[in-house]
Structure 1
C-alpha cells in the first residue's frame, strides 16, 4: 500500500480546516510533520488535492472526489482499532442540533449516552454543537459532525434525511395582548400583528413561513432574533408576537408569562429529522445514539 493512514488523516483534517497549521493542531502534530505527510501523499500519486490560496488550502476536483472514500476508510479503521482493543462499545460522537432541539431535547440524550458508556466501562464524550439548520447541515456535509438533529428538511444530494419525531408551532403573545382569548384568529388579524421571527436559515423560520404561506409578503416582521430565549423575552416585554415550538414555550404558557393565540385554519405541524452524510458509515456508537433518540421520543 503506497499511502498511510496518517497521510489520509492529515488530508481529511486539512480538508476540514482549510489550513495546514490548524490541521496539525487538530491532530496533535507539528506543522512540518503534517505538511510532509500531505506533500508525500500528493507526490506518491502525482496528484494535487488542494488549490493553494495563500495560507488557505481549498479542495480541488481531485480532493472533492476522493474525500468520501478517505472518510469511509478512516471510519472503518477507527472501528477496527476499537475492536482490536476489545473496545467495540461506545466511542466519542460529534452531534449537531438546531437551537430548539439542542436547548430542549439534546442535553438529556448526551447525559444518557455518556452514562451508557460508563456502564460498559468506557468514557465517551459527545461534542454537542448547537446552531441553526443551515449551519448544522453544512457541518454534516463537511464531515465536521457525525449526525445532525434538525428542524425541517434540508435537501442536498450528499445528505440523507430520516424522520425522527413530530413537533408543533405555537403563536405566543404577551398575556395582556388584546387578541388573547379572542378565539380563532382570521388571516386579517394575523396580518395586523407585529411579528418577532427567527432568522433565515433556521428550521423554525422555515416552518413559520410554510404555515403562513400566502401572507408572507404582507406580514409585519418587526424584529429578527437568532435565539428562542431572546424572542420569549421580547414577547414578555410586549414587543410583538412570535411563532415558536411548543417544546420551547410550554413552561412559559403554564406559568402564564406567555399566552397562546389560535389560528387553527393554518397548519402548524412540522417534523424533526436526523441528517447524515450519504458516504459516512453508521458506526456502532452512532447506532446507539439513534436508538436513544427513538426511545426518548417513544417515552
Structure 2
C-alpha cells in the first residue's frame, strides 16, 4: 500500500477524543483559521502517537509506518502528493509551519517505538520532551502569531512543563504498557535502583523522585508564566489556559503525593469553566 491511499484524519472521531479536555477548550477560544490549524496539528500528533502506542503490532511495523510519515512530510514540503500529510498543507502555507518540527514529533514517537523508555537519564528525557511536546509548541506558537524568539522560549518551557506533568500524572498507565519515564538520576537519589516500571512505582520512595521531577516542571511553568506576563505579541489565550490548567493539576498532585496507591488527578468541568472564564476576562 502506498501512503497516497491512506486516509486523512476523521474530524468527528478526533473531536470526540478531544471533547471535554482542556486542549479542546483552549482551541475553541481561537479564531476559526487558527483553530483549524491547531486541530490539524493535534490530528497529526494523535495519528503518530497512536502508532507509537499500538502494542498489538511489532516494533518493526510501527517503525516502518513512522518512516512513511517522514516520506509524506518530505513530499508535502516538496509540493508533491503528500498521502496522509496532505491535510496539513493549508496550515503549513498559512502559518509557515516548519518541516523540522513535524519531524521532531515523529522522532519522539520513534523513541517509544524503538524500545520502551525505562528510567532514561535526564538528558534523554529532556530530548524526549523536546520532541513530543516542545516541538508541538514550536508549531503552535507560529499559529499563535508569536515572534520567533519569545515563541521558541514559550515552546521550550511550556512544552516541557506540560509533558513532565503528563509523566507524573500517568505513572500507572505508562507502567501498564512497560514504560517508566522517571529519570534514573532522580530514582537513584530516592534509593530506587530498578528500572522495572511496576516495581519502581510500587516503591513508596517513588514519591521523592516524583517531587524532584515536579520541581523541574514548576521551574518551567514559572518561566513560561513570566514570559506570558511580559505580553509578547500574539494570540496567547490558549497557551495561558493550558498552562493554568496543567499547573493546577501539578499542584494537586503535589498535595496528594505519588506514594501508592495513587488516584489520577483531574480538573472537573466546573473548575475548567471557571478557569476559561477567568483567562478570557484577562485577555
TM-score interval, smaller chain = under 0.3
Between the two structures, name the one with larger relative contact order (CA 8 Å, sep ≥ 6).
1
> Going by fraction, where is strand more abundant, 1 or 2?
1
| TM-score, normalising length: structure 1 | 0.24
> Going by fraction, where is helix more abundant, 1 or 2?
2
